[in-house]
Structure 1
Amino acid sequence: MYTKQEKLEAYAEWITFAQSLMDLPEEKWTGPIAEGKWSPRDIVSHIMLWDKYFLENAVCPMAEHRPMTLKNQDFNEFNRDAAAYGLTQSKEALISQTVDARQQLLEVLQNIPEAEYAYKYEDTLSVDEYLLDFYEHDRHHMAQIKGYITATA
């Protein structure tokens, strides 16, 4: 994953994965992946809401060369709220929102010149760092869900 396009293609893999969950039976969609853990629905909601948060507060500001509006988040509270949000959505709606949020991020990221990817905005975050962190975050959750689906097959 070296060029801008390779980075964006890797980051886009979440879309295909999320769409594949449409075929997941409801009991697996809503069942915890392990005791005391989230369900696939909770994980999808979690990633979607983080995508929206970073789009609005980091990625768009970086693309537009304006100050980021990131604020210290209580991650546990944000994640609890994300899981609660997922409970209010149908599987179809949540997956659609997830795909839309990631596509919006990809569109904005595509429009940032590759030469700016390594630049640290406000000495805090670069596009490269953002993509690497969330690529790894996606892979972590995708592996959890895949393991759960395999174990419950």
Structure 2
Amino acid sequence: MNTKQEKLEAFAELVGFAESLERLSEEQWAGPIAEGKWSPRDIISHMMLWDRYFLENALRPMAEHRPMTLKPLDFNEFNRDAAAYGLTQSKQDLIRQTVEARRQLVEVIEGIPESEFGHRHEDKLSVDEYLLDFYEHDRHHMAQIHTYLASFA
């Protein structure tokens, strides 16, 4: 992944992955991927809410040359809240929200010139750093879900 287009295509892969989860049974969707671990529903809710958080508090402000509104978060609390949020949504709604959030992020990032990707905004975060971190985050969680689903084959 070297060019802006390659980075965005890799980042957008979550859309197809999330849409593929529509086929899961309720047991597969809501069951823990391993003992004491989250379910696919919890993971997708977690990913979607992080996308929304970074869209509103980092990427959109970066694109609009406004100050970022990132603040220190208790990650464990954020993640617990994300899992709880997932319980309040149907599978279809949660997947739709995930797809929408990721597409919005891609659209905002598409509007940022590649020449600005390496610039650290407010000495905190660059678009390149964000894309790499969340690409790896996506791959980690998608691999967990793939491994879990393989146990049903």
Instruction: Provide TM-score, normalisation by structure 1.
Output: 0.99
State the one-letter code of the partner of 2:3.
T
- Aligned to 1:36, the other structure's residue is in SS state coil
Which residue in 2 is equivalent to 1:5?
A: 5
Cα distance, 1:47 vs. partner? 0.3
Cα distance, 1:152 vs. partner? 2.6
Give, in whole Å, the separation in 2 of the partners of 1:39 and 1:10: 24
Give, in whole Å, the separation in 2 of the partners of 1:124 and 1:70: 9
Which residue in 2 is equivalent to 1:144?
A: 144
Unaligned runs of 5+ in 2: none
Which residue in 2 is equivalent to 1:49?
A: 49
Give, in whole Å, the separation in 2 of the partners of 1:5 and 1:55: 19
RMSD, matched Cα: 0.4
Which residue in 2 is equivalent to 1:102?
A: 102
Alignment of 1:62-101 (within 5 A): 62-101=62-101
Which residue in 2 is equivalent to 1:123?
A: 123
Which runs of at least 4 in structure 1 moved beyond 6 Å after TM superposition? none
Unaligned runs of 5+ in 1: none
State the one-letter code of the partner of 2:102.
R
Cα distance, 1:151 vs. partner? 1.6
What is the percent sequence identity of the aligned residues? 74
Instruction: Provide TM-score, normalisation by structure 2.
Output: 0.99
